[in-house]
Amino acid sequence: MKRPANNDKSLKAFPGPLLLLGAGKMGSAMLEGWLKRGLAPGKLIVLEPQPGKAVKALARRGLKLNPKPSSKGKAATAAAIVIAVKPQSAPEVVPRVAAHIGKGTLVLSIMAGRTLRFLAGALPAGTAIVRAMPNTPAAIGRGITVAVGNGKVSARQRKQAGELLAAIGAVEWASDEDIMDAVTAVSGSGPAYVFLLAEAMTNAGIAAGLPPPLAAKLARETVAGSGELLHRSDLDAATLRQNVTSPGGTTAAALEVLMGPGGFDELLTKAIAAATRRGRDLAG
């Protein structure tokens, strides 16, 4: 059995300032992860029109919240900028960080569907940009992110981007941005498929005669426990499945339906293809 992932790479030595644009759900999850890894609040600048309680409390510990430019009208040059606003507000909001970009600044965007090309067009020429796609388990430090950089990203900046993203879970790098729509369809949207599985198991349990609260608890704990087992195990999903399937038994009877024509594989292939197409259309 594998040990739980070790995500505790220290950010104590991370150079500041680190500017976060948008402290919503995802931005706040990253912020929490960075602080847990030892990043000093004094190294952080947050631009957020409606900061939550946690961000306001950090502002009392040195975090700079919506700072005004200095008297000379100069904004602080950031070592790194993380863009976590909604993709729809990007055209208006992203250019505002330009004043914080200097030689060596890394820009890391987690906006769904906003391409490296879009970002390069909205930022000063020559900016080092990493585009990344995380997913919601980031909220508990158990996300998976796929990242891709433009030609301006140095080895040091790639390492920095990896460290910032490791604060919310596992990180994979892509060399080809074209795969990002499929990544979004599998892991970005993926948590919704898993939650749907829990919902469907609950409904099926009720249909099979279980009291609704018990059906919901059984489905929830089964999905969560199996996810944790998969996470900790060295075995792949197919082997774990086979290990709980005796020939001619109850699991085998269910799997015959799920793996038969029109079953899980076919449905998910169709669903993920639809999400990939949608991502491509939205990116334009």
* Structure tokens given for 206: 């009720």
Distance, CA of 5 to CA of 272 (rounded, Å): 27
Judged by CB, which is closer to ligand NAP: 195, or 264? 195
State which residue has the least CB distance to ligand NAP.
24
Site for ligand NAP contains 21 (CB under 6 A): yes
For residues 67 and 87, which CB has a smaller minimum distance to ligand NAP in the complex? 87
Shortest approach of ligand NAP to residue 110 CB, angstroms? 5
Within positions 160 to 189, which residues make up the interface with ligand NAP, using CB under 6 A?
188
Return the closest-CA partner of residue 148 out of 164, 166, 135, 161: 161
Could you say whether residue 25 binds ligand NAP (CB under 6 A)?
A: yes
Stretch that binds ligand NAP, among 107-115, 204-212, 232-240, 273-281 (CB under 6 A): 107-115
Q: Which residues contact 44 (CB under 8 A, 6 or more apart)?
A: 16, 17, 18, 19, 20, 31, 34, 58, 62, 63, 64
68 touches ligand NAP (CB under 6 A):
no
Judged by CB under 6 A, how many residues of this single chain contact ligand NAP? 25
Alpha-carbon gap, residue 198 to 194, rounded angstroms = 7
The burial class, CB within 10 Å (0-12 / 13-18 / 19+), for 74 is exposed
Helix (H) or strand (E) holding 111: none
| Pick 51 or 205: Cβ nearer ligand NAP | 51
Q: Does 67 bind ligand NAP (CB under 6 A)?
A: no
* Candidate list 26, 45, 82, 182; residue touching ligand NAP; CB under 6 A: 26
- CA dist., res. 71 & res. 99, Å (int): 15
CB of 48 to ligand NAP, least distance (A): 5
Single residue of 14, 18, 19, 22 touching ligand NAP by CB under 6 A? 22
With binding defined as CB under 6 A, does residue 136 bind ligand NAP? yes
- C-alpha to C-alpha distance for 249 and 252, rounded to whole angstroms: 5
Read off the amino acid at residue 154: S
Q: How far apart are CA 165 and CA 7, in angstroms?
A: 10
Q: Pick out residues in 70-99 that bind ligand NAP (CB under 6 A).
A: 84-87, 89, 93
Whether the Cβ atoms of residue 165 and residue 141 lie closer than 8 Å to each other: no
**Distance between CA atoms of residues 164 and 84, nearest Å:** 13
Among 18, 19, 48, 153, binds ligand NAP (CB under 6 A): 48
Summarize as ranges the residues that interact with ligand NAP (CB under 6 A). Answer: 21-27, 47-50, 84-87, 89, 93, 110-112, 133-136, 188
